[in-house]
Amino acid sequence: MPSPAESLRQLAAEGLLRHQRPLASPAGVQVIREGRTLWNFASNDYLGLARHPEIEAALIAGVKKFGAGSTASRLVCGTLPPHVLLESDLAAAKGTEATLSFSSGFATALGVIPAVVGKADFVFLDKLSHACLVDAARLSGATLRVFPHNDLEKLARLLISTRAKNPAARILVATESVFSMDGDHCPLREIVCLTETHEALLLLDEAHGFGVLGGSGMGLAEQENLQHRIAFQMGTLSKAAGLSGGYLAASREWIDLLTNRARSFIYSTAPPPALAHAARASLALIRSPAGHALRVKLQENIAIISNERSPIIPVILGSNEAALAAAAAMEQAGFLVPAIRYPTVPRGTARLRISVSAAHSQETIRLLAASLHLNPPLSNPLSLCP
C-alpha cells in the first residue's frame, strides 16, 4: 500500500493532482481568483439564480424567520415548515405524489438506491453516469452492470437476459437526463419503454436538466411528457436553482418507505430551514414567466457558441497535459474554464468543460468563442484529440 506522499507523487506524475483554489469574490459570472478577474464559465448556475436578488432576499428572510440551523435530523425535531412546503411544491412541479429532500444530490443517490435495491437485485447504469449513482449502486450490494453510453440495444439485452434468469428480482435502471460532462441527453422515451416492457424501475437524474429543460423548467421528463411513467425523478437544487440540496420525486408509498430506509436522510441533520425557504422561491421563479424568459436567454447564449441546446459544452483535448495547458491559457486570457480529467471523464478524453449561463452577456460569450477559435459554433462535443 503506497504512502500518502507516494500516492500524491503518482497523481502529480499522471497530471491528475488537484488543488483547491478559492475565489476571492462571490461566484457570479465574473469572479476574482488569485488577484485576477475572470469571466466564469465553470459554474453550473445556468439561470444566474445564485446571485438573483429575489433568492438572496428569500434566504435572508428564511434565516430571520426560522433561524440559522435545523438542529437535528428530520425524524427527530429537524423538520420545519419550509421543509414540508418545499417537498409539496416539488411534488406538484414534478407531477408526482410526493418528494423527499436531502442535503445534496450525492446524498440523495446514496440514500435512495440502497433503499430500493439489495443483494438479490440488479442495477444497470449508463457508463457516463455520475459518480454518486455509481457509488450508491455499489453501496446497495446489488449486482451492478454498466451499459455503453446511451446504448439501447445493450440495455435491452441486459434487461431480457436478467429478467429471464431472475423473474422475481428488482431491476433498477439509472441514467442522467443531461450528462454532466458531455452535455448530451439520454434517449428517455426509449428507455422508459424498455423499463416498462421488462418490469424494471427507472431512476432519472435530472441534475443538469432541472431549470433548463421543459415548459416550466422541470427537466427532460417534463419536456417529453413522461413524468408519470418514471418511478424515481432525482434532482438537485445546487445548479440551476442556485442553492444547494437534493430531492427524490416518486409515489407516496416509495417516499414513505424511503423516509424509513434512506440512511443519508435518516441520519443527517436536516438542511437549514432557511435554505428550504429560499428553494421554494427559486422553484417558483423557475416555473414563472420570468423563469421561462431566462431559459430563452440561455438558449440564445448557447447558440452563439454551440449548435446544440445544452449549456454544457465540452472541448475534448485528449491528454491531461493538453487540458491543463488549455485551461491555463484561458485563464491568462481572462476566462475561468476548468480542465476535466480522469476519473471524472474516461482516460484519454480530458477536456475543457464550458458552462453557459443566462447571466452571461452575449459579448462575453463571443469573446470566449474567439479565444477558443470557435467560429462557426461547434457541434457538441468538439474533439481536438489527434
Catalytic residue IDs:
44, 130, 176, 180, 205, 208, 239
- Cα atoms in the 13 Å half-sphere on the side-chain side of 57: 4
Other CB atoms within 10 Å distance of the CB of residue 169: 17
3-state secondary structure of 26: coil
Amino acid at 273: P
Ranges of H-type helices in the chain: 4-13, 53-66, 81-94, 105-116, 131-140, 152-165, 188-197, 220-223, 252-261, 263-266, 273-287, 289-305, 320-332, 362-372
The DSSP secondary-structure symbol of 312 reads E
Residues 6+ apart with CB under 8 A from 205: 105, 109, 129, 130, 133, 174, 175, 176, 177, 234, 235
- 138: which 3 cell numbers? 455499489
The DSSP secondary-structure symbol of 49 reads G
- 100: which 3 cell numbers? 423527499
Hunting for cell 422515451 — which residue is that? 189
Q: Indicate the burial class of 208 (C-beta count within 10 angstroms; 0-12, 13-18, 19 or more).
A: buried
Residues 6+ apart with CB under 8 A from 39: 29, 30, 334, 335, 336, 360, 364, 367, 368
